[in-house]
Structure 1
Amino acid sequence: MVKCVAVILSGCGVYNGTDIHEASAVLVHLSRAGAKGTPTDEKRNILQESARIARGDVADLAKLDGSAFHAAIIPGETEFPTNDVAKNLSDWAVKNKDCTILPHLGKLIKDFHKAGRPLSMCCISPILAAKILPGCELTVRQDKECEKWTAGVVKEMGCKHVNKDVEEAHINVKNKLFTTCAFMCNAPIHKVFDGIGIMVKETLKLA
Protein backbone atom coordinates (compact mmCIF):
# COMPACT_ATOMS: atom_id res chain seq x y z
CA MET A 1 0.00 0.00 0.00
CA VAL A 2 1.32 3.43 -0.94
CA LYS A 3 1.73 5.62 2.17
CA CYS A 4 0.60 9.24 1.91
CA VAL A 5 2.63 11.60 4.08
CA ALA A 6 1.95 15.30 4.64
CA VAL A 7 5.18 17.33 4.73
CA ILE A 8 4.65 20.63 6.55
CA LEU A 9 6.98 23.39 5.32
CA SER A 10 7.48 26.89 6.71
CA GLY A 11 8.95 28.87 3.88
CA CYS A 12 12.32 28.53 2.19
CA GLY A 13 15.79 29.19 3.44
CA VAL A 14 18.21 29.07 6.32
CA TYR A 15 17.32 31.48 9.17
CA ASN A 16 14.02 32.38 7.51
CA GLY A 17 12.15 29.18 6.74
CA THR A 18 12.44 25.42 6.35
CA ASP A 19 16.01 24.28 5.85
CA ILE A 20 16.33 23.11 2.24
CA HIS A 21 18.68 20.25 3.11
CA GLU A 22 16.31 18.89 5.75
CA ALA A 23 13.29 19.15 3.48
CA SER A 24 15.19 17.53 0.62
CA ALA A 25 16.36 14.69 2.84
CA VAL A 26 12.79 14.04 3.99
CA LEU A 27 11.47 14.04 0.42
CA VAL A 28 14.30 11.81 -0.87
CA HIS A 29 13.75 9.20 1.83
CA LEU A 30 9.98 9.30 1.30
CA SER A 31 10.48 8.87 -2.43
CA ARG A 32 12.88 5.98 -1.93
CA ALA A 33 10.31 4.26 0.26
CA GLY A 34 7.56 4.77 -2.31
CA ALA A 35 5.57 7.20 -0.17
CA LYS A 36 3.76 10.24 -1.52
CA GLY A 37 4.75 13.58 -0.04
CA THR A 38 2.31 16.48 0.00
CA PRO A 39 3.96 19.68 1.28
CA THR A 40 1.57 22.23 2.79
CA ASP A 41 1.95 25.54 4.54
CA GLU A 42 0.47 28.86 5.68
CA LYS A 43 1.16 32.62 6.02
CA ARG A 44 3.02 35.44 4.21
CA ASN A 45 4.40 34.08 0.89
CA ILE A 46 5.36 30.84 2.57
CA LEU A 47 3.25 28.90 0.05
CA GLN A 48 5.33 30.30 -2.79
CA GLU A 49 8.55 29.74 -0.90
CA SER A 50 7.60 26.18 -0.01
CA ALA A 51 6.78 25.49 -3.65
CA ARG A 52 10.42 26.23 -4.49
CA ILE A 53 11.45 23.40 -2.20
CA ALA A 54 8.69 20.99 -3.18
CA ARG A 55 9.19 21.54 -6.94
CA GLY A 56 5.46 21.24 -7.39
CA ASP A 57 2.02 22.21 -6.17
CA VAL A 58 1.52 23.04 -2.51
CA ALA A 59 -1.68 23.60 -0.56
CA ASP A 60 -2.74 25.86 2.28
CA LEU A 61 -2.48 24.11 5.63
CA ALA A 62 -6.04 25.18 6.42
CA LYS A 63 -7.24 22.96 3.57
CA LEU A 64 -5.35 19.85 4.63
CA ASP A 65 -7.57 16.84 5.31
CA GLY A 66 -5.65 14.82 7.89
CA SER A 67 -7.71 11.71 7.21
CA ALA A 68 -6.19 11.53 3.72
CA PHE A 69 -2.69 10.96 5.07
CA HIS A 70 -0.99 8.11 6.89
CA ALA A 71 1.62 10.34 8.60
CA ALA A 72 2.88 13.93 8.83
CA ILE A 73 6.47 15.18 8.84
CA ILE A 74 7.59 18.66 9.88
CA PRO A 75 11.16 19.60 8.89
CA GLY A 76 12.71 22.39 10.91
CA GLU A 77 15.60 24.76 10.51
CA THR A 78 17.96 25.46 13.39
CA GLU A 79 18.13 26.16 17.10
CA PHE A 80 18.55 29.89 16.45
CA PRO A 81 15.16 31.17 17.69
CA THR A 82 14.13 33.59 14.95
CA ASN A 83 12.87 31.48 12.10
CA ASP A 84 10.70 28.76 10.54
CA VAL A 85 8.93 26.79 13.28
CA ALA A 86 10.01 29.34 15.88
CA LYS A 87 8.52 32.25 13.94
CA ASN A 88 6.38 31.13 11.01
CA LEU A 89 4.52 28.23 12.62
CA SER A 90 4.56 29.48 16.22
CA ASP A 91 5.77 32.42 18.31
CA TRP A 92 8.41 30.33 20.12
CA ALA A 93 11.04 32.90 19.14
CA VAL A 94 9.30 35.46 21.35
CA LYS A 95 7.48 33.47 24.05
CA ASN A 96 9.50 30.27 24.33
CA LYS A 97 7.62 27.74 26.52
CA ASP A 98 4.58 30.06 26.64
CA CYS A 99 4.30 30.08 22.87
CA THR A 100 1.19 29.52 20.82
CA ILE A 101 1.11 27.45 17.64
CA LEU A 102 -0.56 28.25 14.34
CA PRO A 103 -4.15 27.04 14.93
CA HIS A 104 -4.41 24.91 11.81
CA LEU A 105 -1.11 23.20 12.62
CA GLY A 106 -2.07 22.68 16.26
CA LYS A 107 -5.31 21.03 15.15
CA LEU A 108 -3.46 18.84 12.66
CA ILE A 109 -1.03 17.59 15.31
CA LYS A 110 -3.87 16.88 17.75
CA ASP A 111 -5.94 15.12 15.09
CA PHE A 112 -3.04 12.93 13.96
CA HIS A 113 -2.20 12.04 17.54
CA LYS A 114 -5.81 11.21 18.39
CA ALA A 115 -6.09 9.01 15.29
CA GLY A 116 -2.84 7.21 16.08
CA ARG A 117 -1.10 8.45 12.92
CA PRO A 118 2.67 8.94 13.12
CA LEU A 119 4.09 12.43 13.57
CA SER A 120 7.73 13.13 12.74
CA MET A 121 9.64 16.30 13.51
CA CYS A 122 13.28 17.25 13.14
CA CYS A 123 15.59 20.01 14.27
CA ILE A 124 13.62 22.68 16.22
CA SER A 125 10.16 21.42 15.19
CA PRO A 126 9.85 18.92 18.11
CA ILE A 127 9.00 21.94 20.29
CA LEU A 128 5.58 21.76 18.64
CA ALA A 129 5.05 18.29 20.09
CA ALA A 130 6.35 19.43 23.47
CA LYS A 131 3.70 22.15 23.51
CA ILE A 132 0.78 20.06 22.27
CA LEU A 133 1.53 16.55 23.58
CA PRO A 134 2.30 16.82 27.32
CA GLY A 135 4.55 14.08 28.64
CA CYS A 136 5.85 13.04 25.23
CA GLU A 137 9.47 12.01 24.61
CA LEU A 138 11.61 13.72 21.98
CA THR A 139 15.11 14.77 21.04
CA VAL A 140 16.63 18.07 19.99
CA ARG A 141 20.23 16.70 20.31
CA GLN A 142 22.41 16.43 23.43
CA ASP A 143 21.05 18.49 26.33
CA LYS A 144 24.54 19.61 27.35
CA GLU A 145 24.74 21.38 23.98
CA CYS A 146 21.33 23.06 23.93
CA GLU A 147 20.11 23.35 27.50
CA LYS A 148 19.33 27.07 27.32
CA TRP A 149 17.08 27.30 24.28
CA THR A 150 15.53 23.89 23.84
CA ALA A 151 16.31 20.78 25.91
CA GLY A 152 15.89 22.55 29.23
CA VAL A 153 12.66 24.23 28.14
CA VAL A 154 11.30 20.93 26.80
CA LYS A 155 11.76 19.52 30.31
CA GLU A 156 10.06 22.58 31.84
CA MET A 157 7.10 21.89 29.57
CA GLY A 158 6.68 18.48 31.18
CA CYS A 159 8.22 16.39 28.43
CA LYS A 160 11.15 14.01 28.45
CA HIS A 161 14.22 15.01 26.45
CA VAL A 162 16.27 12.09 25.14
CA ASN A 163 19.88 12.65 24.12
CA LYS A 164 20.57 11.50 20.57
CA ASP A 165 23.37 12.00 18.08
CA VAL A 166 22.68 13.52 14.68
CA GLU A 167 22.70 10.12 12.95
CA GLU A 168 20.04 8.77 15.29
CA ALA A 169 16.30 9.25 15.75
CA HIS A 170 14.18 8.86 18.85
CA ILE A 171 10.99 6.82 18.69
CA ASN A 172 8.28 7.63 21.22
CA VAL A 173 6.15 4.55 20.57
CA LYS A 174 3.32 5.56 22.89
CA ASN A 175 2.68 8.79 21.00
CA LYS A 176 3.90 7.56 17.60
CA LEU A 177 6.27 10.53 17.65
CA PHE A 178 9.55 10.37 15.75
CA THR A 179 12.24 13.02 16.19
CA THR A 180 15.81 13.64 15.10
CA CYS A 181 18.04 16.62 15.80
CA ALA A 182 19.25 17.32 12.22
CA PHE A 183 20.81 20.80 12.01
CA MET A 184 20.41 21.41 15.72
CA CYS A 185 23.82 19.75 15.61
CA ASN A 186 26.86 21.24 13.95
CA ALA A 187 27.33 18.22 11.74
CA PRO A 188 28.12 17.34 8.11
CA ILE A 189 25.12 17.26 5.78
CA HIS A 190 25.45 13.53 5.12
CA LYS A 191 25.06 12.75 8.82
CA VAL A 192 21.96 14.95 9.03
CA PHE A 193 20.66 13.13 5.94
CA ASP A 194 21.25 9.74 7.59
CA GLY A 195 19.44 10.73 10.79
CA ILE A 196 16.44 11.97 8.85
CA GLY A 197 16.51 8.75 6.86
CA ILE A 198 16.13 6.70 10.02
CA MET A 199 13.29 8.94 11.17
CA VAL A 200 11.44 8.55 7.86
CA LYS A 201 12.03 4.79 7.73
CA GLU A 202 10.67 4.25 11.26
CA THR A 203 7.73 6.58 10.57
CA LEU A 204 6.64 4.58 7.55
CA LYS A 205 6.81 1.33 9.51
CA LEU A 206 4.00 2.53 11.76
CA ALA A 207 2.08 4.55 9.16
Structure 2
Amino acid sequence: MAKCVAVILSGCGVYDGSEIHESSAVLVHLSRAEAKVNIYAPDVDQMHVVNHIKGEPTEESRNVLTESARIARGNIQDLATLKLADNDALIIPGGFGVAKNLSTWATQGKDCELNPAVEKAIKDFHKAGKPLGLCCISPVLAAKILPGCELTVGHDMECEMWPYAKTADTMKELGCKHINKQVGEAHVDTKNKLVTTSAFMCNAPVHEVFDGVGVMVKLVLELA
Protein backbone atom coordinates (compact mmCIF):
# COMPACT_ATOMS: atom_id res chain seq x y z
CA MET A 1 0.00 0.00 0.00
CA ALA A 2 1.11 3.54 -0.70
CA LYS A 3 2.42 5.43 2.32
CA CYS A 4 0.61 8.55 3.51
CA VAL A 5 2.87 11.41 4.61
CA ALA A 6 1.95 14.54 6.50
CA VAL A 7 3.87 17.65 5.44
CA ILE A 8 3.83 20.72 7.69
CA LEU A 9 4.47 24.10 6.07
CA SER A 10 5.28 27.41 7.77
CA GLY A 11 4.26 30.00 5.19
CA CYS A 12 5.54 30.81 1.70
CA GLY A 13 9.02 32.21 1.18
CA VAL A 14 12.45 31.54 2.66
CA TYR A 15 12.73 34.60 4.92
CA ASP A 16 9.34 34.38 6.63
CA GLY A 17 7.87 30.99 5.71
CA SER A 18 8.66 27.65 4.14
CA GLU A 19 11.58 27.52 1.72
CA ILE A 20 9.78 27.03 -1.59
CA HIS A 21 12.42 24.92 -3.36
CA GLU A 22 12.71 22.58 -0.37
CA SER A 23 8.94 22.27 -0.08
CA SER A 24 8.63 21.56 -3.80
CA ALA A 25 11.43 18.99 -3.60
CA VAL A 26 9.65 17.18 -0.77
CA LEU A 27 6.40 17.08 -2.74
CA VAL A 28 8.08 16.00 -6.01
CA HIS A 29 10.00 13.15 -4.38
CA LEU A 30 6.90 11.99 -2.50
CA SER A 31 4.92 12.08 -5.74
CA ARG A 32 7.62 10.10 -7.54
CA ALA A 33 7.43 7.48 -4.79
CA GLU A 34 3.63 7.35 -5.26
CA ALA A 35 3.04 8.42 -1.66
CA LYS A 36 -0.17 10.11 -0.63
CA VAL A 37 0.41 13.55 0.89
CA ASN A 38 -1.59 15.52 3.45
CA ILE A 39 -0.37 19.11 3.79
CA TYR A 40 -0.92 21.11 6.97
CA ALA A 41 -0.02 24.48 8.47
CA PRO A 42 -0.98 26.22 11.70
CA ASP A 43 -3.75 28.82 11.45
CA VAL A 44 -1.74 31.62 13.09
CA ASP A 45 -0.28 34.97 12.12
CA GLN A 46 3.29 35.07 10.86
CA MET A 47 5.87 36.55 13.21
CA HIS A 48 6.37 39.19 10.51
CA VAL A 49 6.36 39.58 6.73
CA VAL A 50 9.64 40.09 4.86
CA ASN A 51 10.16 41.88 1.55
CA HIS A 52 12.13 39.19 -0.26
CA ILE A 53 13.85 41.70 -2.55
CA LYS A 54 15.15 43.92 0.23
CA GLY A 55 15.35 41.25 2.90
CA GLU A 56 13.63 43.60 5.32
CA PRO A 57 10.42 43.31 7.39
CA THR A 58 7.33 45.19 6.21
CA GLU A 59 4.25 46.46 8.02
CA GLU A 60 2.05 43.74 6.52
CA SER A 61 0.34 40.95 8.43
CA ARG A 62 -0.13 37.52 6.89
CA ASN A 63 -1.54 34.17 8.02
CA VAL A 64 0.67 31.05 7.99
CA LEU A 65 -2.09 28.72 6.78
CA THR A 66 -3.22 31.10 4.03
CA GLU A 67 0.33 31.68 2.79
CA SER A 68 1.20 27.97 2.93
CA ALA A 69 -1.83 27.29 0.71
CA ARG A 70 0.12 28.97 -2.12
CA ILE A 71 2.62 26.10 -2.10
CA ALA A 72 -0.06 23.47 -1.53
CA ARG A 73 -2.10 24.79 -4.48
CA GLY A 74 -4.95 25.27 -2.03
CA ASN A 75 -5.03 21.62 -0.93
CA ILE A 76 -4.14 22.20 2.72
CA GLN A 77 -5.59 21.67 6.19
CA ASP A 78 -5.35 23.43 9.51
CA LEU A 79 -2.64 21.67 11.53
CA ALA A 80 -5.10 21.43 14.42
CA THR A 81 -7.03 18.83 12.39
CA LEU A 82 -4.08 16.48 11.83
CA LYS A 83 -4.90 12.90 12.84
CA LEU A 84 -2.00 10.59 13.58
CA ALA A 85 -3.92 7.56 12.33
CA ASP A 86 -4.25 9.12 8.86
CA ASN A 87 -0.49 9.42 8.30
CA ASP A 88 2.49 7.05 8.25
CA ALA A 89 5.23 9.71 8.52
CA LEU A 90 5.79 13.43 9.03
CA ILE A 91 8.07 15.75 7.02
CA ILE A 92 8.78 19.43 7.72
CA PRO A 93 10.68 21.48 5.10
CA GLY A 94 12.93 24.33 6.20
CA GLY A 95 12.83 28.07 5.72
CA PHE A 96 12.92 30.83 8.35
CA GLY A 97 9.21 30.22 8.95
CA VAL A 98 10.23 27.18 10.98
CA ALA A 99 12.22 29.42 13.32
CA LYS A 100 9.66 32.26 13.28
CA ASN A 101 6.20 30.71 12.87
CA LEU A 102 6.51 27.09 13.99
CA SER A 103 8.73 28.07 16.91
CA THR A 104 10.48 31.06 18.50
CA TRP A 105 13.95 29.77 17.62
CA ALA A 106 14.70 32.93 15.59
CA THR A 107 14.45 35.14 18.67
CA GLN A 108 15.17 32.75 21.54
CA GLY A 109 17.46 30.04 20.17
CA LYS A 110 17.75 27.04 22.49
CA ASP A 111 15.29 28.70 24.92
CA CYS A 112 12.58 28.72 22.25
CA GLU A 113 9.06 27.37 22.45
CA LEU A 114 7.30 25.44 19.72
CA ASN A 115 3.85 26.17 18.39
CA PRO A 116 1.67 23.80 20.48
CA ALA A 117 0.21 22.03 17.44
CA VAL A 118 3.67 21.53 15.94
CA GLU A 119 5.03 20.17 19.21
CA LYS A 120 2.07 17.81 19.58
CA ALA A 121 2.48 16.50 16.03
CA ILE A 122 6.19 15.76 16.44
CA LYS A 123 5.73 14.13 19.84
CA ASP A 124 2.75 12.07 18.66
CA PHE A 125 4.58 10.70 15.61
CA HIS A 126 7.67 10.00 17.70
CA LYS A 127 5.71 8.20 20.41
CA ALA A 128 3.92 6.10 17.80
CA GLY A 129 7.23 5.08 16.19
CA LYS A 130 6.36 6.83 12.94
CA PRO A 131 9.32 8.43 11.12
CA LEU A 132 10.10 12.13 11.02
CA GLY A 133 11.89 13.88 8.15
CA LEU A 134 13.37 17.32 8.81
CA CYS A 135 15.57 19.45 6.55
CA CYS A 136 17.48 22.72 6.64
CA ILE A 137 16.62 24.56 9.90
CA SER A 138 13.67 22.32 10.86
CA PRO A 139 15.86 19.81 12.78
CA VAL A 140 15.98 22.45 15.55
CA LEU A 141 12.40 21.42 16.34
CA ALA A 142 13.52 17.90 17.15
CA ALA A 143 16.59 19.17 18.99
CA LYS A 144 14.32 21.09 21.35
CA ILE A 145 11.82 18.36 22.21
CA LEU A 146 13.61 15.05 21.54
CA PRO A 147 16.55 15.17 23.98
CA GLY A 148 19.62 13.20 22.96
CA CYS A 149 18.54 12.68 19.36
CA GLU A 150 21.04 12.50 16.50
CA LEU A 151 20.65 14.93 13.61
CA THR A 152 22.41 17.04 11.03
CA VAL A 153 22.20 20.59 9.74
CA GLY A 154 25.24 19.91 7.57
CA HIS A 155 28.54 20.97 9.14
CA ASP A 156 29.54 22.43 12.49
CA MET A 157 32.41 24.61 11.18
CA GLU A 158 31.27 27.90 9.68
CA CYS A 159 32.67 28.82 6.26
CA GLU A 160 31.46 30.21 2.94
CA MET A 161 29.88 26.86 2.05
CA TRP A 162 28.28 26.47 5.50
CA PRO A 163 27.18 29.96 6.67
CA TYR A 164 24.78 28.67 9.36
CA ALA A 165 27.05 26.03 10.88
CA LYS A 166 26.85 27.53 14.38
CA THR A 167 23.32 26.16 14.60
CA ALA A 168 24.98 22.80 15.23
CA ASP A 169 26.62 24.18 18.38
CA THR A 170 23.27 25.21 19.81
CA MET A 171 21.90 21.75 19.12
CA LYS A 172 24.84 20.25 20.99
CA GLU A 173 24.05 22.56 23.93
CA LEU A 174 20.58 21.00 23.96
CA GLY A 175 22.16 17.58 24.41
CA CYS A 176 21.81 16.38 20.82
CA LYS A 177 24.49 14.63 18.78
CA HIS A 178 25.28 16.51 15.58
CA ILE A 179 26.56 14.47 12.63
CA ASN A 180 28.41 16.28 9.84
CA LYS A 181 26.96 15.44 6.44
CA GLN A 182 27.29 16.78 2.91
CA VAL A 183 24.32 18.44 1.21
CA GLY A 184 23.54 15.31 -0.80
CA GLU A 185 23.44 13.12 2.30
CA ALA A 186 20.99 12.53 5.13
CA HIS A 187 21.49 11.15 8.63
CA VAL A 188 19.23 8.50 10.13
CA ASP A 189 18.77 8.33 13.89
CA THR A 190 17.43 4.79 13.94
CA LYS A 191 16.43 4.91 17.61
CA ASN A 192 14.18 7.93 17.09
CA LYS A 193 13.28 7.21 13.44
CA LEU A 194 14.51 10.73 12.66
CA VAL A 195 15.92 11.57 9.21
CA THR A 196 17.64 14.93 8.68
CA THR A 197 19.46 16.66 5.83
CA SER A 198 21.02 20.10 5.49
CA ALA A 199 19.35 21.46 2.32
CA PHE A 200 19.92 25.24 2.14
CA MET A 201 21.90 25.32 5.36
CA CYS A 202 24.56 24.69 2.72
CA ASN A 203 25.40 27.32 0.11
CA ALA A 204 24.83 24.76 -2.63
CA PRO A 205 23.23 24.76 -6.09
CA VAL A 206 19.49 24.12 -6.01
CA HIS A 207 19.81 20.77 -7.82
CA GLU A 208 22.11 19.46 -5.07
CA VAL A 209 19.61 20.56 -2.43
CA PHE A 210 16.83 18.88 -4.43
CA ASP A 211 18.80 15.62 -4.53
CA GLY A 212 19.62 15.76 -0.82
CA VAL A 213 15.96 16.25 0.06
CA GLY A 214 15.24 13.25 -2.13
CA VAL A 215 17.59 11.12 -0.06
CA MET A 216 15.76 12.24 3.09
CA VAL A 217 12.34 11.44 1.61
CA LYS A 218 13.49 8.00 0.42
CA LEU A 219 14.84 7.11 3.88
CA VAL A 220 11.68 8.34 5.62
CA LEU A 221 9.52 6.17 3.38
CA GLU A 222 11.76 3.15 4.03
CA LEU A 223 11.17 3.62 7.77
CA ALA A 224 7.41 4.10 7.43
* Per-residue Cα deviation, 1:89-117 (whole angstroms, up to 9, x for no partner): 00011110010000111011111001000
Q: Which runs of 5+ in 1 are unaligned?
A: 78-82
Higher Cα radius of gyration: 2
More helix by share: 1
Alignment of 1:41-190 (within 5 A): 41-42=41-42, 43-44=44-45, 45-77=63-95, 83-145=96-158, 146-148=164-166, 150-190=167-207
Partner of 2:58: none
Q: TM-score, length-normalised on structure 2?
A: 0.88
Matched residue, 1:27: 27
Query: Match of 2:161?
Result: none
> Structure 2 CA distance, aligned partners of 1:46 and 1:72?
18
SS of aligned partner of 2:16: coil
1:17 maps to which residue?
17
Please state how far the C-alpha of 1:65 moved relative to its aligned partner. Answer: 0.6
Distance 1:196 1:16 in 2: 20
Distance across 1 between alignment mates of 2:144 and 2:124: 15
The percent identity for this pair of structures is 66
- Which structure 2 residue ranges, 5 or more long, are not aligned? 46-62, 159-163
AA in 2 matched with 1:169: A
Hey, what's the Cα distance between the residues in 2 that align with 1:17 and 1:56? 16
Alpha-carbon contact 1:51-1:58 (below 8 Å) kept: yes
The count of residues paired between Structure 1 and Structure 2 equals 201
The reply to whether residue 37 of structure 1 matches residue 46 of structure 2 is no
Shift of 1:147: 4.3
TM-score (norm 1): 0.95
Once residues 207 and 108 of structure 2 are traced to their aligned partners in structure 1, the CA distance between those partners, rounded to angstroms, is 33
Q: RMSD of aligned C-alpha atoms?
A: 0.8
